[in-house]
Structure 1
Amino acid sequence: MWLLLGLLSAAIPLAAATDLIYVTNRGGTTIDVIDARTNKVVQSIGNIESPEVVRFSRDGRLLYIFSREEENALIVMDRKSGKTVKKVPLSGWANEAQTTKDGKLILVCIRNTGTKAEDAGALDIIDATTLEKVKSIPVRRGLHDLAVTADGKYVAAGAPGGRFLVVFDLQKMEAAWEVQYDSGVNPIAIENNPDGSGRRIFVNLGALNSFSVVDFAKRAEVARIKAPDEPTGFGAGRGCESNAHGIGISPDQKTLWVNSRPSNSVFAYSLPDIKLLGHVSLPEQIVPGKPSRSGNPAWITFTPDSKTVYVSSCGVKMVTAIDVQKMKEVARIPVGEMPDRISTLSLP
């Protein structure tokens, strides 16, 4: 049965756009789509309760949508018509997903399988051709975020409750190794070698306002870098995301971008030397009669040419577009309630 979930409204024809930024508004029922050429919202997909994440088929024809309403299913939607093609059963509540570069596999972080009192998790693997789950690899605690090597051979995922990073071998379809931490882990980014193999993993350590550097070959943490103390004045504690939440590597592998809630900024580092380049301040929460608060930077994505980085701020209903080379804000884009994960679709 075809089900029309997406109520589409476009101010600009989507066929004319090349790079589209999808924004899941976790506090509402919509997914906003930004045209990266104009930095305007050109489409809103509605009637999806608390959407978590959107990923894409390799040809851009299908959207893979996960929401808190459909906790145990992947919604496969036709991008142009907004019709649901299929709902793929999952082993539990999906908290994040990625696809391999060749588009053959959809990899899903399961935050809670519901099999134990604590949050037992899994990595669900879905064949993108048949849209069937082919494997579920159990882990002892729930998984929150993941990243895939460019060669599609490994995926790294973080377990906040278990305070560990786990790396899966996708050829053997099994867990390969772990790194244990003293703090909960949040978003993850992988730096790749020229052949597409993993070189280093960068891991947000939320409560510590820091990120960890894991050497892929050594299978161990080799450095830990705390966010700069300035700017300051936006408070610690928790908002709609943790202190350090949101990390990304530009597609050209030349810069690393890391969010900081206490600084209400995104910091940029050069790669491979991890040298601090500077920061860009992000939208603040204006509180009448009180000092401004952090807008709670949440997630990061890039245009494929590495010229623009986008940062969602879940506390202020805003996505900020930043010129990577100039390290300057170029647009603040109003979106829906509690914007969370953002992802880029590049159309031919």
Structure 2
Amino acid sequence: MVKQIPLSGHPNNLAIGRSGKRVYVGIIQAPGGVDVIDTASLQRVKTLPTKGTIHNAYVTPDGKYVVAGSIQGKTINVFDATTEEPAWTLDMDLGIRPMTFSANPDGSTKWLFTQLTGFNGFAVVDFATHKEIKRIKNPDLPPGRSTVPEGSDPSHGMAVTSDQKTLVVCSRLNNALYSYSLPDLNVIGTVFLGGKGAGWVTLTPDGKKAYVANPVTNDVSVVDIKSQKEVALIPVGYVPKRNTTGVLQQ
């Protein structure tokens, strides 16, 4: 540790700007906001105001926008990453949980996907019009399978593969990882997991494998996207969540 940076309140999650010059920290403590950290000076330079306390902060794949979701405020708060000023806010009927994004051919953001409090599925928001265009419920369980009542929200954790062809969605309730085709959003795969909890997911950079954190059984499921099979179940520490993928240079 080289420095501790005081924040405006208790943090919940963070995102790194595409240039690496800024870190955006979601503040879960009232009144909320997104703290902006300058990585050169290691100082908090400002707090972006939000409508509600913040569960998670993100940067869009093109690096142009900072996006923050509020469970308490039921809002999606979007900021211009260049000016660090509000761009738009969308009020929803349920709290905002994990989000992810799909891109247009030119790299700009096409859709924002968000999971919602108490809902086993996700909403689709058109980034250009700032409107919800679809809400999709994850499939019902087939006969003989039981739900998992413990863990995170019913559907918590999602990601888009790097080729922009597949959206993967965790369902804690169904103990499954679902794959949806893009852009038509049809279910193209279901993997029932060996662990329990399905609380978060991260993808390898090539989009070939998904790693699902299972906080109920303290393990991580490794799913092969092409074959739609769980290929490993890795025991880890207590209550794994918010796993991410990092690329290290050798």
TM-score calculated relative to the size of structure 1: 0.68
SS of 2:147's partner is coil
Aligned to 1:230: 141
SS of 2:83's partner is coil
Does structure 2 retain, via aligned residues, the 8 Å contact 1:151–1:195? no
Shift of 1:235: 4.7
Aligned to 2:37: 126
SS of 2:4's partner is strand
TM-score calculated relative to the size of structure 2: 0.94
Distance 2:83 2:243 in 1: 30
Partner amino acid, structure 1, of 2:197: N
Q: Does 1:209 align with 2:209?
A: no
Q: Per the alignment, do residues 178 and 140 of structure 1 end up closer, same or farther by CA in structure 2, a change over 3 Å counting? A: closer
The residue correspondences of 1:213-292 to structure 2 (distance < 5 A) are 213-231=124-142, 232-236=145-149, 239-284=150-195
Aligned to 1:55: none
Does structure 1 retain, via aligned residues, the 8 Å contact 2:220–2:235? yes
Aligned to 1:93: 10
Shift of 1:319: 0.5
Q: Does 1:108 align with 2:25?
A: yes
Does structure 2 retain, via aligned residues, the 8 Å contact 1:321–1:329? yes
Instruction: Give the percent of matched residue pairs that are identical in Structure 1 and Structure 2.
Output: 41
Partner amino acid, structure 1, of 2:177: V
SS of 2:125's partner is strand
Partner amino acid, structure 1, of 2:214: S
Q: Does 1:333 align with 2:250?
A: no
Q: Per the alignment, do residues 312 and 235 of structure 1 end up closer, same or farther by CA in structure 2, a change over 3 Å counting? A: closer
Shift of 1:198: 1.2
Shift of 1:247: 1.0
Q: Structure 1 runs of 4+ off > 6 angstroms?
A: none
Shift of 1:130: 2.1
Distance 1:152 1:281 in 2: 34
Q: Higher strand fraction: Structure 1 or Structure 2?
A: 1
Q: Which has the larger radius of gyration?
A: 1
Distance 1:332 1:121 in 2: 37
> Number of paired residues?
247
Does structure 2 retain, via aligned residues, the 8 Å contact 1:314–1:340? yes
RMSD: 1.4
> Paired residue for 2:46, among 135, 142, 158?
135
**Higher RCO (CA 8 Å, separation ≥ 6 residues):** 1
Q: Note the residue ranges of structure 2 that are not aligned, 5 or more in a row.
A: none
Distance 1:150 1:130 in 2: 25
